[in-house]
Structure 1
């Protein structure tokens, strides 16, 4: 009789309560799960357990989770990384996939949607034309996210590049437009 092993999954999210809930929910669905709330812990767990799947938050303790994609893939080659974020933008989704993530989901995401995205063979791109053009607020948000990604999450450098006061930028980042 062959015993199937549970696929190993690492959750990297700096919110301890969310991390715990997601780790538990994924364990209940048959994964051997581990949770990390910071970059160092994530890399250590990836080296120790070589997870097949990784759910990575875009914001880890104020730093860009995108910086972790390559080191996580070096620690666990072949891992399928899903970037999960409360601050979804087209720019960061593209950057995440370019760096090696296989999917990108906006929070809140259902556990079943996370599992489906992790197991999907191809990145699914919705190629339908939008029903309406993006709002000015949404276009500004997308531009800010692109510049923020270019400056590796550094708020001060992003504010300088946008010729905007740092506090103004922080206010804009705290209030994403509807649908973001």
Structure 2
């Protein structure tokens, strides 16, 4: 390869742009790295406002958006993406899934709705599965015990690691919660 060819900028595929909007910074950064390793050009936002600004500047081909964000509802970002780029593929992530919000997310243009904690492989599959095809079930899904443990950990973090407040919000006895938190994560 000539030196001139090496100096030329590499053309990025606009079809591989991905916007990730999530207020959990660690999850956001881990998912961004995982998706970059799968060939996406990733931009990140932690709020609805940042997500909307990013969409206005450059509507992505793909998006992963958390439902509940500190400054509003992630569905506003989904709607803005679909308005600016109708061919985009967006999925919604949430720790608080229910049928009504799933239906609303799909009506606004989301192609899938995944419960947290979602694996990067599951997210990639949901984003890249052609429309109309069913996504294959995961090979090694999390056990019900693990999903419960993850939910408890998420609420615990949201309550600033306050055991009493977490127990109250989960409608659980404080000692029971302390025993669960003292154990290792189930597989």
Name the TM-score, length of structure 1 as normaliser.
0.63
Residue 4 of structure 1, CA deviation: 6.8
Q: Kindly report the root-mean-square deviation, in angstroms, between the aligned alpha carbons of the 2 structures.
A: 3.0
Q: Name the CA distance, whole Å, in 1 between partners of 2:31 and 2:71.
A: 20
1:5 matched to which residue of 2? 13
Contiguous gaps of at least 5 residues in structure 2? 1-10, 137-165, 172-187
2:46 matched to which residue of 1? 37
**C-alpha contact 2:48 2:76 (8 A) present in aligned 1:** no
User: SS of 2:60's equivalent?
Assistant: coil
User: SS of 2:39's equivalent?
Assistant: coil
**C-alpha contact 2:17 2:41 (8 A) present in aligned 1:** yes
1:134 matched to which residue of 2? none
Residues 4/33 of structure 1: CA separation in 2 closer, same or farther (3 Å cut)? closer
Larger radius of gyration: 2
Q: Select which of 88, 91, 96 maps to 1:82.
A: 91
Q: Select which of 117, 122, 131 maps to 2:132.
A: 122
Residue 118 of structure 1, CA deviation: 0.9
Q: Name the CA distance, whole Å, in 1 between partners of 2:127 and 2:82.
A: 15
Name the TM-score, length of structure 2 as normaliser.
0.61
Residues 4/36 of structure 1: CA separation in 2 closer, same or farther (3 Å cut)? closer
**C-alpha deviations, 1:91-150, integer Å up to 9, x for none?**
211111011111100111111110110112227499xxxxxxxxxxxxxxxxxxxxxxxx
**C-alpha contact 1:46 1:76 (8 A) present in aligned 2:** no
Task: Within 5 Å, give how 1:18-167 maps onto structure 2.
Answer: 18-61=27-70, 63-120=72-129, 121-122=131-132, 124=134
How many residues are treated as equivalent by the alignment? 132
Contiguous gaps of at least 5 residues in structure 1? 127-170
Q: Name the CA distance, whole Å, in 2 between partners of 1:13 and 1:4.
A: 24
Residue 64 of structure 1, CA deviation: 2.2
Structure 1 segments of 4+ aligned residues over 3 angstroms from their partners: 123-126
